[in-house]
Amino acid sequence: MGYAFMVAGCHVCGRLFSFNPMKVPSIRDGNGIRQGVCRKCVEAANEIRKGKGLEPFSIADGAYEPCEENELEL
């Protein structure tokens, strides 16, 4: 058994971060493709949402950790 994680630039701030590609919070780009968002940007967005009385975006357990290879959708 192996583990997998992705490394990419955050779609919001551009910083490199590692994540579980099946659980990371994401937004769709102009072409409709899911793009990962780093924890810092999700937490910043949640502060703004909280100030507006909106529900925060959820961060799944393990979203920024490696996953078991059998979790990947190939």
Residue with tokens 């899911």: 34
The 10s digit of each residue's pLDDT in 1-50 is 788 889 999 999 999 999 999 999 999 999 999 999 999 999 999 999 99
Residues 6+ apart with CB under 8 A from 5: 18, 19, 20, 21, 65, 66, 67
Query: Average pLDDT, stretch 39-64?
Result: 97
Q: How far apart are the first and last CA of the chain?
A: 16
Q: How far apart are CA 5 and CA 44, in angstroms?
A: 23
- Confidence grade of residue 55 (pLDDT, cut at 50, 70, 90): very high
Which pTM value belongs to this model? 0.86
User: Got the DSSP string for 51-74?
Assistant: HTTPPPPP--TTTTS-EEGGG---
Ordered by start, the domain boundaries in the chain are 3-71
